[in-house]
């Protein structure tokens, strides 16, 4: 039997329990104080608003996914210059500053601070943007890339030799699952050591997982 979509009620019509549950309760936006108040038996397509998260969510039939409002994500920052990075070495940027924003505990500046980790229940497609600021050097190149789970690399960007402090920007769109983590990796091949003077890495949820 098809799910009820819309009904025009006429004067004198007596609402039944079935109509209340289908046309009204299952198709309204339910306001919840927190996840403890979510409907116990949700149906596919149901929409709620979580006041604690300031976020709307919809039910896929298997899980609640973000829909509108405050979308999940994080922007982590480097505050302390990373001095004397070695020539040719992969350098994970230590994102040790207070996060610019972090909606769902993606990142801890004090522990494993090179990593932004996807929380439980927030798998999906993410836009990831990283930037590394390098000190001045007139030789060779500096690079930035995004690394997933210390294995796969995305968004490789390189700058040519320049004088003056300059930034290298990298970006990628990646489908991630819970416990996946991303890092911002810098590398330089000037032949000597070089400082990383600044950096940041952000992730922002843009959609749920792609269908199989």
DSSP assignment, residue 192? S
> What phi and psi values does residue 142 have, to the nearest 5 degrees?
-125, 145
Q: Which two tokens stand for residue 134?
A: 């390098």
How many residues comprise the chain?
Answer: 212
69-98 pLDDT per residue, tens: 889 999 999 999 999 999 999 999 999 999
Residue 1 has pLDDT above 50, yes or no: no
Instruction: Give the confidence band of 210 by pLDDT, cuts at 50, 70, 90.
Output: confident
Q: Are 117 and 183 in contact (CB under 8 A)?
A: no
Cα 176 to Cα 33, 44, 144, 170, distances in angstroms: 28, 23, 20, 18
Q: Are 73 and 101 in contact (CB under 8 A)?
A: yes
CA angle centred on 35, ends 108 and 178, rounded to 5°: 45
Q: Who contacts 160 (Cβ-Cβ below 8 Å, separation ≥6)?
A: 141
Spatial distance between the Cα atoms of 98 and 107, rounded to a whole number of angstroms: 10
Spatial distance between the Cα atoms of 200 and 183, rounded to a whole number of angstroms: 10
Alpha-carbon torsion angle 45, 49, 55, 57, nearest 10: -10
21-50 pLDDT per residue, tens: 777 766 678 899 999 999 988 988 889 999
Instruction: Give the confidence band of 194 by pLDDT, cuts at 50, 70, 90.
Output: very high
Spatial distance between the Cα atoms of 44 and 27, rounded to a whole number of angstroms: 10
Taking alpha carbons only, the member of 129, 210, 140 closest to residue 171 is 129
Using CB atoms within 10 Å of the CB of residue 166, give its burial: 0 to 12 exposed, 13 to 18 middle, 19+ buried. middle
Spatial distance between the Cα atoms of 176 and 121, rounded to a whole number of angstroms: 11
Question: How far apart, in Å, do the first and last CA atoms of the chain sit?
Answer: 25
Look at 29 and 51; give whichever has higher pLDDT: 51
């Amino acid at each position: 039997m098809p799910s009820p979509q819309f009904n025009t009620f006429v004067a004198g019509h007596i609402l039944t329990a079935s109509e209340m549950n289908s046309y009204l309760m299952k198709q309204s936006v339910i306001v919840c104080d927190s996840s403890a108040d979510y409907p116990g038996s949700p149906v596919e397509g149901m929409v709620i608003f979580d006041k604690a998260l300031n976020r709307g969510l919809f039910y896929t039939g298997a899980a609640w996914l973000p829909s509108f409002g405050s979308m999940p994500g994080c922007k982590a920052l480097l505050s302390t210059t990373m001095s004397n990075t070695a020539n040719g070495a992969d350098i994970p940027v230590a994102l040790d500053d207070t996060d610019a924003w972090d909606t769902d505990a993606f990142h801890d500046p004090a522990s494993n601070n090179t990593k932004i980790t996807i929380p439980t229940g927030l798998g999906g497609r993410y836009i990831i943007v990283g930037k590394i600021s390098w000190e001045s050097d007139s030789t060779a190149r500096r690079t930035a890339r995004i690394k997933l789970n210390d294995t796969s690399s995305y968004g490789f960007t390189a700058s040519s030799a320049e004088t003056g402090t300059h930034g290298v920007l990298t970006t990628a769109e990646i489908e991630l699952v819970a416990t996946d983590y991303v890092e911002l990796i810098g590398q330089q091949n000037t032949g000597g050591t070089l400082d990383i003077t600044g950096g940041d890495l952000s992730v922002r949820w843009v959609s749920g997982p792609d269908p199989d």
